[in-house]
């Protein structure tokens, strides 16, 4: 016969790979409480995952800043020409 507390299972600790799969839900605060607690426990003990989480949160900020930068006119013209040629099926140098 099992003790009543045996029915209450603690969430298993996460390894780093499992944590990466949950990052989106973690940042969006969509994880169930027990999963979030296990996630937080892992983060509290894993410096590489803390660094990865910080970078994950910062990526959209970096992307927006990059999109706001103006591409130099000569690069824009060469890129548009290259893409136009590719769309028409031309090979480089034709």
Computed over its alpha carbons, how large is the radius of gyration of the chain?
24
Q: Residue 91: which residues within 8 A CB-CB, separation 6 or more?
A: 85
Are the C-beta atoms of residues 14 and 38 closer than 8 Å to each other?
yes
Residue-level pLDDT, tens digit, the chain, 94 residues: 444 444 445 555 678 988 888 999 999 999 999 999 999 999 999 999 999 999 999 988 888 888 878 888 899 899 899 998 888 876 666 6
Fold assignment, 10-87: Arc Repressor Mutant, subunit A (1.10.10)
């Amino acid at each position: 016969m099992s003790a009543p507390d045996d029915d209450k299972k603690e969430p298993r600790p996460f390894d780093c790979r499992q944590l990466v799969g949950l990052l989106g839900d973690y940042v969006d605060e969509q994880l169930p409480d027990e999963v979030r607690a296990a996630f937080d426990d892992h983060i509290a003990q894993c410096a590489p995952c803390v660094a990865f989480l910080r970078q994950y949160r910062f990526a959209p900020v970096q992307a927006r800043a990059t999109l706001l930068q103006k591409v130099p006119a000569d690069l824009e013209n060469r890129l548009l020409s290259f893409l136009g040629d590719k769309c028409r099926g031309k090979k480089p140098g034709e």
